[in-house]
Amino acid sequence: PTHCLVSLRPEIEHYMYQALAPSTHRTYQSAMRSYYIFCLQVGLPTFPISEDVIIYYVTSLARRLTYNTIRTYLVGLQSYSFMLGATNSLSSMHRLYYILRGIRRVQSRSRRPRRAPITIQHLDLLYNYVESRFSVFNAHMLRAVFSLSFYALLRASEYTSPYTHVFYADQTLLR
């Protein structure tokens, strides 16, 4: 019976891996790389995850990453920790909760100003700009895109692809 269970191990690992989307794997791998580098630099153990190590790690991240990115990294660490068989949860780390809360409050005070909406005057400036800088065809095409996005209240991500190497036909405006 033990041999039968051992033979199922690759299949278990395959299904565990398939539980997350490829983009999620990339994000979580970035989190793990960052965590390993941090632990190596300061000489702390990586696993099992301890609240003290995570607090130091999160505090170091707050110098260069946003609160939301830090939270995503922590979810990635938690995911890999669970895949390694750990049962301790980051949600039970109460001091970590307060550290994250403090990071969010501090970072929310230093946010960049909100972007102003595009007005009809801005749209007119855009029209004039493209007519003076582009060919007639490209100027008409850009005016059409600007008009559609303005009057349909679209965000840039709703009519363009966020990546140069990936195209989603079901999410990108087509001709």
- The rounded percent of the chain whose pLDDT value lies above 90 is 42
Query: What is the pLDDT, as a whole number, of residue 100?
Result: 95
Residue 47: burial class (beta carbons within 10 Å; 0-12, 13-18, 19+): middle
Average pLDDT of the residues in 20-31: 87
- In this predicted structure, the answer to whether residue 1 has a pLDDT above a threshold of 70 is no
Instruction: For 57-85, write each residue's pLDDT tens digit.
Output: 999 999 999 999 999 999 999 888 887 77
- In this predicted structure, the answer to whether residue 162 has a pLDDT above a threshold of 70 is no
The most confident of 13-27, 43-57, 85-99, 155-169, by mean pLDDT? 43-57
Q: In which band, very low, low, confident or very high, does the pLDDT at 112 lie, cut at 50, 70 and 90?
A: low
Going by C-beta distance under 8 Å and a sequence separation of 6 or more, which residues neighbour residue 31? Answer: 72, 73, 74, 76, 77
Instruction: For 116-132, write each residue's pLDDT tens digit.
Output: 788 899 999 999 999 99
- The rounded percent of the chain whose pLDDT value lies above 70 is 89
Query: What is the pLDDT, as a whole number, of residue 171?
Result: 66
Judge contact between 63 and 103, C-beta under 8 A: no
Position with higher pLDDT, 173 vs 153 = 153
